Amino acid sequence: MNELSLDNLFDLLNTQQIPGSAEQLKKLCIRIGELVELNGKDWVVENRQKLLDEWEYIVRRGLMA
């Protein structure tokens, strides 16, 4: 598993305005790192708005502890 740094996450998603606690953001770094390994960086960049929208939904609904 290739966990991204927070700076790399911000670069890939082209924003630093990502909701969530430090623990939640760490989980997001892990998950996005997995997606990079599976699909490549280009795929993540192409789908970043959808990924951000889904992440915001998860955090706002309290679906992740």
- Which residues in the chain land under pLDDT 50? none
User: Cα–Cα distance between 20 and 37 in angstroms, integer?
Assistant: 23
What are the residue boundaries of the structural domains of the chain, listed by start?
6-60
Task: Note the pLDDT of residue 29.
Answer: 97
Query: Cβ contacts of residue 18 below 8 Å, gap of 6+?
Result: 9, 10, 25, 28, 52, 55
Task: Note the pLDDT of residue 65.
Answer: 64
Task: Note the pLDDT of residue 64.
Answer: 75
